[in-house]
Amino acid sequence: GMFVYALTVAVRHREDCKGIILPPPYEIYPYYFLRADVIQKAYLLKMRRGLLGHKLCDFYGIKKTDKDVYIIDENTYDRRTTLNYDDKLRYFTEDIDLNTYYYYFHVDYPFWMRDECFDKIRIRRFELTLYMYQQILARYYLERLSNGLGEIKTLTYNKPIKNGYWPWMMLHNGVQFPKRQNNYVVIRDDVIENLRLADAYEMIIKEAIVKGFVEVNGLRLELTKTDDIETLGRLIYGKIDKVDVDKYHIDAYRYLLIIMKSILGLNTLKSDKYFVVPSVLDSYQTALRDPVFCNRR
């Protein structure tokens, strides 16, 4: 949902919408937070109006309490969904509360919103965004160490991605999220141009950090002071609000994130708005589920 996202952003930011409480995202779109087999069992219970015998409950792994409450256990350690050792962290990466927090953060601090439309109290949103990512990576690193998985892996386009990911999730229209096998080869003929663009954008940002400034269409942006971390965040998200900067020069940086998602998430980067192959990296509700999200560059 685009409609649900737009409505949620409007309710969180408009003065005339204060006091309106919307249902949490896992109630509106549960298939973004639960595996497809769990959703299917819930459909089965709904269609049968809860009239399931003990044999069917045992067969589907559904428990019925004394108060006629049905419990569907989503086994995050199901061997059918296990591809590699990173699946030990499913309890963390697929946590409903964590993914809900990540979704709400981007609702509260949308990168695309203009400064004049933004709540004056919520300042320095891009610095806060970078800080949020730093904290998620720190917690992910802690969970890796706790499970004996060692350092966070370094992502490079020149080598295959050793550990794949199988979401086992399905959208409401029956389309499954793509699965990335182990030892996934990044460099392919159909993504060479995307890889070249991603490398170029990354190089510009890295050089800006090393040099302490970046020039965009003749305008010099300093990155040496403490407060300039906000400028760096705006550069990454393509939201530098300057009248003397050509909009297209700034928007170009935003495509770095889109291109990387298309390469790593098995998505397809097309100009046709009706041709979309969604992956877990494309939605805020599901992005944290894929371990490649936390890999270092």
Residue 171 tokens read as 């959208």
Q: Is the domain 189-282 a CATH 3.40.50.460 member?
A: no
Distance CA 235, CA 245 (A): 12
* Side chain identity, residue 23: P
Which pTM value belongs to this model? 0.85
Q: Cα 270 from chain centroid?
A: 20
Half-sphere exposure of 163 (CA within 13 A, CB side): 19
Q: What region, left, alpha or beta, does residue 246 occupy, with left being phi > 0 and alpha being psi -120 to 50 degrees? A: beta
How large is the C-alpha radius of gyration of the chain?
22
The full 3-state SS of the chain, as one line of letters, equals CHHHHHHHHHHHHCHHHCCCCCCCHHHHCHHHCCCHHHHHHHHHHHHCCCCCCHHHHHHHCEEECCCCCEEECCCCCCHHHCCCHHHHHHHHHCCHHHHHHHHHHHHHCCCCCCHHHCCCCCCCHHHHHHHHHHHHHHHHHHHHHHCCCCCCCECCCCCCECCCECCCCECCCCCECCCECCCECCCCHHHHHHHHHHHHHHHHHHHHHHHCEEEECCEEEECCCHHHHHHHHHHHHCCCCCCCCCHHHHHHHHHHHHHHHHHHCCCCCCCCCCCCCCCHHHCCCCHHHCHHHHCEC
Residue 275 phi/psi, 5° resolution?
A: -115, 95
Distance CA 78, CA 7 (A): 36
- Taking alpha carbons only, the member of 134, 100, 139, 118 closest to residue 22 is 100
Q: Judge contact between 222 and 212, C-beta under 8 A.
A: yes
Averaged in consecutive runs of 10 residues, what is the pLDDT profile of the chain (297 residues)?
Answer: 89 89 93 90 83 77 81 75 86 94 92 73 79 94 94 86 88 84 83 80 82 76 80 72 48 64 64 68 90 83
